[in-house]
Amino acid sequence: MSGLVLPVISCSLDPESRSRTLATQAAELLESAGHQAPILDLREHALPAFDNSSVFETGPFDRLHRTIAESDGIILATPIYNWAPSAATKSLIEATGATGEEGTSAAWFDKVVTFICAAGLPQSYMATGQLASSLMLDFKCVINPYMGYFSDRDWDDDSGLIPDRQSRLEKTVAVHTELAALLAHRSYSSRWEV
């Protein structure tokens, strides 16, 4: 199971983001298992609002699209705002999932996708459901059922995640890796289809 390309995208624009901390921890777990796990921070690769036109001509789009398209799987580390992943997360998927007139095609087809979420309250545990369904139905992504969902009560301010929640992060990343390895040599490839 070594040698996979498993980027982690930090989808928070908050400079004090806990989801960015989770992204860093996930990347460290992947790298310690022998995988490539570059972190792409949307604060450094800011996409303009999706317009289905000029967004495709930007440097951040090129980097994000290429990284996603060439990966074996993606971890989306996102904050939960208003019972949903951040607007930056959705904007990322809108841009890199679009098919442009110049022949750009969606980068997400057949990817293993794992959500790692930082939230204030535990009640919005199912906040990724709609976005996960879209990724699965539009792009035939395989969604890791072991989502990492961490609310304010799961953190010890001195040492990071409390032990049982740290174990959940580790399991989430391990399942992501195993799914990506199992599907790396799949016999099919998807495009736009119902």
pLDDT, tens digit (0-9, with 9 covering 90-100), for 32-62:
999 999 999 999 998 998 888 888 889 999 9
What band does 176 get if pLDDT is binned at 50, 70 and 90? very high
Summarised one tens digit per residue, pLDDT across range 79-100 is: 999 999 999 999 999 999 987 6
What's residue 49's pLDDT? Answer: 86
Q: Look up the pTM and report it.
A: 0.95
Give the whole-number percent of the chain exceeding pLDDT 90: 85
Reading the block at residue 192, the tokens are 């736009």
Give the strand pairing for 39-41 and 8-10: parallel
Structural domains in the chain, CATH included, are: 8-183 (3.40.50.360)
Please report which confidence band the pLDDT of residue 1 belongs to, taking 50, 70 and 90 as the band edges: very low
